[in-house]
Structure 1
Amino acid sequence: MTPRALILIEGASTGNGMLYVHAAQRLGLHPITLATDPAQYDYLAAEGIEAIRVDTDNLEALIHECSRLRATYDIAGITGFAGSDESVHVTVGKLCRYFDLPGPNPASIERCYDKFAQRQLLAQAGVPVPPYRVAENAREVQKAAAEIGLPVVLKPIVGSGSSGVRLCREIDEVAEHSTYLLSGPHNWRCLPRILVEEFAQGPFCIAHIMGEEVIAIAAGDFGPPPYFIFRETIFPAPLADSEHKHIVDVSLNCLQALGLGWGPANIEFRRTKRGPVVIEVNPRLSGAPDPQLVQLAYGVDLITEHVKLVIGDEWDLRRRHSCTAAARNLVPDRDGTLDWIEGASRAAAIPGVTEVKLYFEPKTPIVKKGDYRDWIGHVIAASPSIAQTEAILQRAVDLIDWSITPFPTLNE
């Protein structure tokens, strides 16, 4: 019998790759990862997972490779495992169309990929979004900031994981960050254009969606400004029933406005005085550890259910239980060389802690980017209540410590 394979296309990875591999194996599929550099994914070699080197930015090269694989395998489905990169899901959608497999609409994904186009479509549909402008040079950025009023958030119109996103409270900060975004060796995947938007103030939350169903709403917390680096995520968000319903209704309006509704999506909100305001619609699963948190909180394995959809099987999104799950990201406060990091095993031994993961070994250089790349690890905990989960999480994090020696300066 010809083995059934699931093709996994890499993107800007945030930890979901191994989860997709394991989900495929549980479903009796042979996972094959296509990557520009498979060696960067340690689990592939460690677990003997088939991987093929191919330029994943080249659609024709991917079509050629998948066509070659069809001589050996029954390709049951194609998907991407990136948790923070819409571009790979545009490619996945095009591959699925080419091979007549279930997949997302690439045009709908592209509408989300361009943050300015996304804002326009949402605003036209009456979805609440922050006042915004798009700018192509420093003069236009400053004009937009003056029209909107400080503080403003500046971000590249294409990007993910909070890369290049900054809160600017003063006009000097606007000038500084616009210069940074418009120059330098950035990988924005497009000509530099800047989205300037009002800073929507209020608690952050994020709706996790499969198809046209809101599965869960989480609360999020960031580190200190001016950057938006996730510090903690907790399921479920502490919402009144009316707030929950309002966010669900706005989420479904977003899907309709953007032509989404197939597969996973997540929608970021700020709960402002005038109600929930949409910050961003992402037509994909969130990166790790959010899928693990959903499974801990509700017993719904979003990655396995996504794979079922990808291969044409019927998914099951029913909740099995209800508890509180949370993750705390570990973020250093300086650049330098990581001398040592310890306490992970003691933290993992605390009842209620389900995972402690460190991303770097000692002697690794640490250079803060102001986005998700600043994380050096995370801790996950779960319990029946928010208060108990928070207490477990704090106790575990307090046991983890590290030392970073600043890089030598030119005068030293």
Structure 2
Amino acid sequence: MPTLTQKDHVVIVDAYSGGRYLIPAFQSLGYPVIHVQSGSVGPFSRDNEVAAARADIHLVNDGDVSALVETLRAASTRIVLAGSEGGVLLADQLADSLDLPFRNHTELSMARRDKFDMQDQLRKAGVASIKQARVTDAEELDAWLTSHGAYPVVVKPLLSAATESVFVCHSHAEAHKALDVIIGSTDLFGNRNDAAVCQEFLVGVEYVINGIACQGRCSITEAWQSDKVDNHGFHVYDTQYLFCEEDPGFTEITEYVGDACRALGLVNGPFHAEVMLTDRGPVLIEVGARIAGGADPYVVESCLGHSQVRWVVQASLNPAAFTEARELLPPVPRSQRAAYVYLIAKTEGRVREADLSKFLSVGGVMHVSYQYAAGDRQMITKDAITAAGVVLLTAETEEELNGRVRQVREIEASMYEAIIDRESA
């Protein structure tokens, strides 16, 4: 049925992973949504298909950003947001060109995207940062390793995400091997890696902090304490536990995140920060100027009564009212505990039909996903993209939650034994 509208439009660039929730969230309030595909979709082809189908209009960036800006101007665009990491730079450029009030200025766009520039900007602003170097070849790597004089070190791409090609190196040889893998490769978003960043390895407890920046003030929607394990030499996510205002360290960490966001010019919009609480205090690992990729708003709403998706809609549509409401909002007590349990594939093999129903026998399990279908080849988990799946669960007490996590791990181990055919790998 043909329709005409003069409503303001909301633009989401690359509404993939957690960003997929933004399109229906704005549409539920009557706003037509334009989805912009920034470029190559890579492993997000299915997400892109869903976003294109959900959006009222789907546009593909062909490189002519000026023409794209005029198309969005003609559509009376009110808001432009990045739905995933690959859309951050284009979203910044579009919002700035359209002179939208709810935006982050482009002067520091690369500092919000490039892992080296990010830490360098924190250093310049006097905010705790990581010792590092940008390296393009073995000679530059050798020079930094010699001057740094300590192991382990981290070697990773400048522009990727989801812990892709992040190497924890315990020797000179391992660091060089990591650099060889990265240089000349292509990341998740289609960028060629002509350089890498080599950084000190932070020792401490890792946290994920999600929230909304609005008019320079950062409001935390939720935080997670992360545990990682070694899997065939790769540092991968094991579990993440909901971390709340009554927990020790919450205020110190979240205040630091606010300082880091402001130093990076992240003053409007969602953010997804990874922070290590070290002996010298909190230190940013990296931050994305976008919605958290793996976060499920359902569980956050269930535990805290709000979510990042809900708040980004409120903040972007009415920044002044959102800021006032946050100032009046008392601390939100945690109604229940929650955890993400990441399924870690330790072996490769051809997948038989997977039966996930046993996971649902564990109390408090809200969601189970396994990314492989019958006939697929299960890959060893190396990063967030190759995680075999995830189980999301809740409980009333810490003891109960830990017990349920152990049950999930037992079921996971038996599942692999039942469904992986190693002989046909």
Question: CA-to-partner distance for each residue in 1:131-173, whole Å, 9 max, x for gaps?
Answer: 2122121121122123222211101222211112100102211
> Which letter maps to 2:147?
E
How many angstroms does 1:207 deviate by? 2.2
8 Å contact from structure 2 (residues 304, 333) kept in 1: yes
- The 1-side partners of 2:344 and 2:96 are apart by 40
For residues 269-348 of structure 1, the aligned pairs below 5 Å read 269-289=275-295, 291-312=297-318, 314-315=321-322, 318=329, 321-322=333-334, 323-343=336-356, 345-348=357-360
How many angstroms does 1:2 deviate by? 3.5
For residues 21-170 of structure 1, the aligned pairs below 5 Å read 21-35=23-37, 40-41=46-47, 44=50, 49-50=55-56, 52=58, 54-55=60-61, 59-60=65-66, 62-63=68-69, 65-67=71-73, 70=75, 75-82=77-84, 85=85, 87-101=86-100, 102-148=102-148, 149-170=150-171
For residues 233-272 of structure 1, the aligned pairs below 5 Å read 233-236=240-243, 241=248, 243-272=249-278
Aligned residues: 398
Question: CA-to-partner distance for each residue in 1:342-394, whole Å, 9 max, x for gaps?
Answer: 12x34235442222223332112334472211123211112232222232343
**Structure-1 residue corresponding to 2:204:** 202
Pairing partner for 1:366 from 367, 378, 396: 378
- The 2-side partners of 1:304 and 1:239 are apart by 22
Identity score, percent: 18
8 Å contact from structure 1 (residues 150, 169) kept in 2: yes
Change (3 A) 1:99 1:45: closer
Pairing partner for 1:355 from 344, 359, 367: 367
Change (3 A) 1:383 1:62: farther
How many angstroms does 1:46 deviate by? 11
150-159 or 357-366, which deviates more? 357-366
8 Å contact from structure 1 (residues 270, 278) kept in 2: yes
> Which letter maps to 1:334?
T
8 Å contact from structure 1 (residues 220, 230) kept in 2: yes
2:22 aligned with 1:9: no
Which secondary structure does the structure 1 equivalent of 2:109 belong to?
A: helix
Q: TM-score under structure 2 normalisation?
A: 0.82
Change (3 A) 1:163 1:357: same
**Structure-2 residue corresponding to 1:405:** 421
8 Å contact from structure 2 (residues 14, 48) kept in 1: no
- The 2-side partners of 1:56 and 1:219 are apart by 40
171-180 or 186-195, which deviates more? 186-195
Change (3 A) 1:56 1:265: farther
- The 2-side partners of 1:27 and 1:373 are apart by 32
- The 2-side partners of 1:265 and 1:2 are apart by 31
**Structure-2 residue corresponding to 1:232:** 239
Change (3 A) 1:353 1:42: farther
8 Å contact from structure 1 (residues 132, 196) kept in 2: yes
Which secondary structure does the structure 2 equivalent of 1:217 belong to?
A: strand
Q: CA RMSD in A?
A: 3.1
Runs of 4+ residues over 6 Å off in structure 1: none
> Which letter maps to 1:378?
V
How many angstroms does 1:302 deviate by? 1.2
How many angstroms does 1:27 deviate by? 1.8
223-232 or 129-138, which deviates more? 223-232
8 Å contact from structure 1 (residues 55, 61) kept in 2: no
Which secondary structure does the structure 2 equivalent of 1:41 belong to?
A: helix
Structure 2 gap segments, 5+ residues each: none
